[in-house]
A = this chain, B = another copy of it.
Amino acid sequence: MSELNNDRFLRALLRQPVDRTPVWMMRQAGRYLPEYRSTREQAGSFLDLCKNAELACEVTLQPLRRYPMDAAILFSDILTVPDALGLGLYFEEGEGPRFRKTVRSEADLAGLNSIKADDDLAYVMHAVRTIRRELNGAVPLIGFSGSPWTLATYMVEGGSSKDFSRVKAMAYDRPRLMHQLLQLLADTVTDYLSAQVRAGAQVVQIFDTWGGALSTAGYREFSLAYITRIIQRLPCEADGRPLPVIAFTKGGGQWLEDIAGCGAQAIGLDWTADIGSARRLVGDRVALQGNMDPAMLLASPARIREEVASILSAYGVGGGHIFNLGHGITPGVNPDHVTAFVDAVQELSPEYH
């Protein structure tokens, strides 16, 4: 493997000193970029794009050609795991992800495929290796997975959900079945992320998109407990360096003290959290990643710069901050506004270090 030319992101994740605040964006390879839309068209469906290592590598690198991001993130989807488990993922135009089968009973659970990520998700590992090679040490590569709870919501509901009524009814009324499914997912995700690390991922992020839909007690029992178990069993190193793990629960702002104890080196903050308060609460234990409102990218470049300044100032002096959005960038954003965002972080952050 080639030497890493820019380790600012890795250092910040471990709360080591850096020259400026590193920056990347969730969903930075995405529809707001015309070159992404063009590659996507070439690939066929969204899933075809995920499964084609060359094209997945191409879209992963596209944002890095435009912007001096400090990290690349594997282009993939959190639902590759339930798909490999046998649920049959497909996308309906304007409807989001759907599954042909669901998991709502012991029989459904027993009917899931037994999988090995290296074999059954080989196309993901192929993409990781391809991207690592093409990155050629420019910046670190982030691997990722959905959290067990988040994956379970899609598997039980059969797709996206507004109020999570089916999966919550299962959690509340059939906790044993729910825990069996979550344990299976925790094992599968541990294997999946470990395989990504072996293939070349230098950081992993666990996306808990729907943990915030739970009650406090429910979050601890059904989401955070399984994130914790995964992290305990991940490899400690990647490429001879400590492997940093980022845990991101959207809507988890009330639970930061709990999340800070899950074993992750860094916590992702959505845009509703105040990053200054978060640092005072848990900044002695974990790095913080975030947290500009993705909708701020719809505002003028001058306003975006003001907001970057305000978040940098709220976090304050010292390391342990990775600048990011509080959730994925949305398709309607003007790519020039991303330039304003990244430039502002680059230009305004050195004085804090």
- Enumerate chain B residues within 8 angstroms of A163, measured Cβ to Cβ: 294-295, 330
Residue of B nearest to A256 (CB): B254
Expressed in whole angstroms, the minimum distance between the Cβ of A187 and any Cβ of chain B is: 27
Does A272 interact with chain B (Cβ within 8 Å)?
A: yes
**Contact between B254 and A273 (Cβ–Cβ < 8 Å)?**
yes
Expressed in whole angstroms, the minimum distance between the Cβ of A333 and any Cβ of chain B is: 9
Expressed in whole angstroms, the minimum distance between the Cβ of A173 and any Cβ of chain B is: 4
**Contact between B293 and A215 (Cβ–Cβ < 8 Å)?**
yes
Proximity string of chain A (259-275) to chain B, C-beta cutoff 8 Å, 1 when within and 0 when not: 00000000000011110
- Enumerate chain B residues within 8 angstroms of A217, measured Cβ to Cβ: 274, 310
**Contact between A298 and B165 (Cβ–Cβ < 8 Å)?**
yes
- Enumerate chain B residues within 8 angstroms of A317, measured Cβ to Cβ: none
Does A348 interact with chain B (Cβ within 8 Å)?
A: no
Complex formed: what's the CA distance from A328 to B219 in Å?
20
Expressed in whole angstroms, the minimum distance between the Cβ of A285 and any Cβ of chain B is: 19
Does A214 interact with chain B (Cβ within 8 Å)?
A: yes
- Enumerate chain B residues within 8 angstroms of A273, measured Cβ to Cβ: 216, 254
Count contacts on A: residues with CB < 8 A to the other chain. 36
Does A164 interact with chain B (Cβ within 8 Å)?
A: yes
Q: How many copies of the chain does the oligomer comprise?
A: 2
In A150-171, which residues have CB < 8 Å from any B CB?
163-165, 168-169
Residue of B nearest to A216 (CB): B274
Complex formed: what's the CA distance from A310 to B330 in Å?
40
Max chain B Cβ within 10 angstroms of own Cβ: one of A216, A277, A307, A330? A216
Expressed in whole angstroms, the minimum distance between the Cβ of A157 and any Cβ of chain B is: 12
**Contact between B212 and A272 (Cβ–Cβ < 8 Å)?**
yes
**Contact between B251 and A295 (Cβ–Cβ < 8 Å)?**
no
Complex formed: what's the CA distance from A295 to B157 in Å?
14
- Enumerate chain B residues within 8 angstroms of A6, measured Cβ to Cβ: none
Q: Which 6 A-B pairs have the closest CB atoms?
A: A172-B299, A168-B295, A216-B274, A169-B298, A253-B254, A173-B299
Additional 10 contacts, C-beta under 8 A, given A172-B295, A215-B326: A165-B330, A172-B296, A172-B299, A172-B303, A173-B300, A215-B271, A215-B293, A216-B274, A251-B251, A254-B254
A-B contact pairs, 28 of them (CB 8 A): A163-B330, A164-B295, A165-B330, A165-B332, A168-B293, A168-B295, A168-B296, A169-B298, A172-B295, A172-B296, A172-B299, A173-B298, A173-B303, A212-B272, A213-B272, A214-B272, A215-B272, A215-B293, A216-B273, A216-B274, A216-B277, A217-B310, A218-B293, A219-B272, A251-B251, A251-B272, A253-B253, A254-B273
